[in-house]
């Protein structure tokens, strides 16, 4: 059960006195999720999601919540944060930061077809464009600097074959991040964790992206690579499914055309996106913070994806 901080109906009744949502009717803990305590709440005005942030501070949260508000106001399908009576999006609850956002319809599509990948690609491009004039800045906190800090912390736990892969890939990625193509890539706020479990669908209709708490400013192409590495693969092997890759990339390209620099950077970027999650999964496995993870995700999944991206070129971004 991923409820680290309990919230009773009485707690909610008190909290809602500050929100324009009417009285509290019911609260139910959400068992999935690994970072925060999440609850479905029923109020006189409808259904919402209450999140208590277990690891993020009050100072860190405006970037994520203001970004969601900015996107929701521009027609990108994301949960809209609900301000309290004084306009605050983040309020204290049991001494921790908390927020209420609108509840998305539907459920995650864990066996996506090309039609789902196309919907994700189009919405991702729309999100990148809509965030161009977002005023707040925060780097991707799981970017190259974090990889450099984390690598020495996990290397001692790896066998020689994986230690060699990690060292070699860090070397490759440092050189890639220093090259001209990389510096010419379009950038802005990105989701940075747009996996199957962070998107809702009703049938083939995409109803929203959520879980923005790894978002930050990075290259748009990195976001596309993270998304393709999850949505368009065979989960057992990490091998890309060409029909799903094409559907996602073509739909993205139709909304925000990829550039020649992005085409040149695509293969290394898919490796970067695989490395990022291999590293975070290794870190969560070998350096767990107390009471944080219920079941650590398997790092071997992203080791396989990384090896596969090194061995086999992916379909190009565009013809
Ligand atoms: N805005 C939302 N609308 C509908 N369901 C949501 C919303 N936010 C979270 N959920 C539900 O809560 C679950 C856990 O949320 P998630 O953000 O992934 O948690 P964590 O950050 O702890 O990993 C999701 O799988 C989803 O079912
Ligand atoms: N998507 C990441 C972990 C982040 O978990 P989330 O439930 O908050 O999306 C991974 O698979 O390693």
CA-based R_g, the chain, Å = 20
> Is residue 193 within 6 Å of ligand 2 at its C-beta?
yes
Beta bridge partners of 96: 93
| Farthest CA pair distance, the chain | 59
Confidence tier at 288 by pLDDT (50, 70, 90): confident
Distance CA 2, CA 153 (A): 26
**Ligand 1 centroid to 215 CA: how many Å?**
15
pLDDT tens for residues 71-107?
Answer: 999 999 999 999 999 999 999 999 999 999 999 999 9
The mean pLDDT value of the chain amounts to 95
CB count within 10 Å of CB 250 equals 17
Report whether 131 contacts 223 (CB < 8 A): no
Res 35 pLDDT > 90: no
pTM for this model (two decimals)? 0.96
Within 13 Å and on the Cβ side, how many CA atoms surround 75? 5
Phi, psi of 276 (to 5 degrees): -55, -45
Distance CA 34, CA 133 (A): 31
Report whether 196 contacts 231 (CB < 8 A): yes
What is the CA 78 to chain-centroid distance, rounded? 12
Distance CA 227, CA 224 (A): 5
Beta bridge partners of 101: 49, 81
| Dihedral sign computed on CA atoms, order 170, 173, 177, 178 | positive
> Is residue 178 within 6 Å of ligand 2 at its C-beta?
no
E-assigned strand segments in 106-149: none
Q: Please state the atom number of ligand 2 nearest to the C-alpha of residue 32.
A: 7
Distance CA 222, CA 224 (A): 5
């Amino acid at each position: 059960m991923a409820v680290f901080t309990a919230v009773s109906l009485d707690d909610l009744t008190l909290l809602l006195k500050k929100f324009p949502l009417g009285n509290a009717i019911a609260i139910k803990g959400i068992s999935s999720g690994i970072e925060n305590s999440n609850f479905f709440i029923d109020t006189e005005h409808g259904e919402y999601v209450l999140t208590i942030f277990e690891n993020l501070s009050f100072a860190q949260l405006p970037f994520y919540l203001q970004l969601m508000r900015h996107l929701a106001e521009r027609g990108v399908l994301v949960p809209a944060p609900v301000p309290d009576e004084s306009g605050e999006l983040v309020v204290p609850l049991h001494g921790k930061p908390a927020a209420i956002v609108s509840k998305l319809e539907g459920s995650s599509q864990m066996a996506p077809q090309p039609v789902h990948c196309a919907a994700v690609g189009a919405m991702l491009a729309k999100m990148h464009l809509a965030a161009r004039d977002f005023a707040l800045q925060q780097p991707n906190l799981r970017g190259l600097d974090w990889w450099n800090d984390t690598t020495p912390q996990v290397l001692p736990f790896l066998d020689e074959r994986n230690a060699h892969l990690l060292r070699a890939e860090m070397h490759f990625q440092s050189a890639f991040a220093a090259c001209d193509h990389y510096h010419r890539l379009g950038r802005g706020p990105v989701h940075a964790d747009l996996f199957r479990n962070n998107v809702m669908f009703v049938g083939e209709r995409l109803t929203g992206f959520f879980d923005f708490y790894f978002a930050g400013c990075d290259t748009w192409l990195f976001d596309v690579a993270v998304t393709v590495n999850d949505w368009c693969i065979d989960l057992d092997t990490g091998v890309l499914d060409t029909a799903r890759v094409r559907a996602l990339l073509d739909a993205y390209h139709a909304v925000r055309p990829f550039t020649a620099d992005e085409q040149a950077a695509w293969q290394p970027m898919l490796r970067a996106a695989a490395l990022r999650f291999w590293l975070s999964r290794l870190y969560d496995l070998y350096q767990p913070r107390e009471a944080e993870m219920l079941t650590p995700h398997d790092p071997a999944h992203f080791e396989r994806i990384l090896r596969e991206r090194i061995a086999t070129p992916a379909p190009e971004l565009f013809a």
